[in-house]
Amino acid sequence: MISMRIDGPLLERRLDELYAIGAEPDGGTYRPLYGDAWARAVERVERWMKDAGLQAHRDPVGNVWGRAEGHNEGKAIVTGSHIDTVRHGGRLDGALGICAGLTAVETLLSSNGKPRRPLEVVAICEEEGSRFNTNFWGSRAITGAIGTVDPEIAAAMRERGLDPAKVAAAARDDIDTFVELHIEQGGVLDSSRQPLAVVSAIVGTAQLEVTVTGRADHAGTTPMGLRRDALAGAAGMIQAVESIARSLGNPAVATVGKVRAEPDQINVVPGRVVFTIDVRHADLGARAALEERIRSLCATIASERGLELDVRLLQERAPVPMDAGLRALLARAAKDVGSTAAELVSGAGHDAQILAARYKVGMLFVPSIGGRSHCPEEATDPAQLVLGTEVLARALQLLAY
């Protein structure tokens, strides 16, 4: 067994310091892209990187990089995660990948010296889309996938001394591999009492907006048999969405997250309902089949009830498999430090799925207690945080030394 000698108390202090930046009075933390709390967090991480002996700099969108040069020239090995949070966000989402990545690299530099290949830690400026409609802003900039900058985002960038005209300069073609440690954000590992998982794939998503149109009528004078109740029809569709996903089993999931009824009055039969469906699966064909079954059954319910139906695709992303070589390397790293890692599909989106377009990517999960995430109750056993950081450090050692 190989000991990586991770400083657990240091890791915890860093996580606590980041969590305090943007702390909200009613619980959790909020660090929106280019906001004041975001700026303070970026400054803190940049200082940590410099204190660890890394060459620190910010790129044109505000991603913070800390670099240790290697003996050999070549493409870099990178670890890290995102620094922004959702509203009332937890202590670990994103922050763990940054703090653990820095702690792992610091450990390697102190015990192994200069790496063979360049080794970097990145605090990605944004992933959550919780201030602007900008999901994966930081990682999309790194891969060169940002075109026109929205005027509102451009104004926020200028407030932080960033030039929107230079966004394209954030693209990197000198990265070989990106490895991220993250909490699972679900309850599979916690419920099965498994300490680690190597991510095999990140699910593909399709987000739909469904509009059901019937007829608004008086709630007291319209007999039940003469109604074209849009909400009653939508309720049947929503139940069908859940039933279809349940019948398919894991990793298929489908969620109705928003529902709006019109005219939204207690004594009026609803004439129009708009609701959303989030469909996810790790296999592209299976996700498409799930979506088609949902569309078909919604259409059948609408027809039976004399309702009009319109289904609009809002957004879709294909499933992203993790690099097979990195999956094997992460499993080996877990074994080297005396543990084992399950394989798990990620039901949540991550920067790795964007970075996979240009680089080799791999992810490692540690459990979320009770499956909680995106909330103040988000937590992981400190011993499992240290174990995850040890496995990450060993993986970086195998890659960069």
Residues 108, 246: one domain? no
pLDDT interval class at 197 (50, 70, 90): very high
By DSSP bridging, strand 308-317 and strand 204-213 are antiparallel
| 48 and 61 co-located in one domain | yes
Same-domain status, 256 and 117: no
- For residue 229, give the CATH number of its domain: 3.30.70.360
Q: Are residues 311 and 373 in the same domain?
A: no
Looking at the fold, whether 313 and 323 belong to one and the same domain comes out as no
In a domain, 1, yes or no: no
Please tell me whether residues 229 and 332 are part of one structural domain.
no
Task: Give the model's confidence band at 135: pLDDT under 50 very low, under 70 low, under 90 confident, else very high.
Answer: confident
Q: Kindly state whether residues 109 and 62 are assigned to the same domain.
A: yes
- 247 and 166, same structural domain? no
Asked whether the whole model's pTM tops 0.85, one would answer yes
Q: Which residue, among 308, 240, 325, 226, has the nearest Cα to 279 in the 3D structure?
A: 240
pLDDT band, residue 278 (cuts 50/70/90): very high
Mean pLDDT, the chain, rounded, equals: 96
Q: Are residues 170 and 104 in the same domain?
A: yes
Residue 134's pLDDT is: 86
Domain residue limits at 137: 8-202+319-400
Does the structure show a pLDDT above 90 at 250? no
Answer yes or no: do 37 and 154 share one domain.
yes
CA angle at 385 for the pair 379 and 388, rounded to the nearest 5°: 135
Task: Compute the distance between CA of residue 175 and CA of residue 338 in angstroms, rounded to an integer.
Answer: 30
Rg (CA), the chain: 23
Q: Do the domain assignments include residue 197? A: yes
CB 345 within 8 A of CB 363: no
Residue ending a domain, among 268, 299, 317, is 317
Q: Which residues contact 94 (CB under 8 A, 6 or more apart)?
A: 81, 82, 83, 84, 85, 124, 127, 128, 182
Number of domains in the chain: 2
Same domain, 30 and 121: yes
Both 90 and 40 in one domain: the answer is: yes
pLDDT at 73: 85
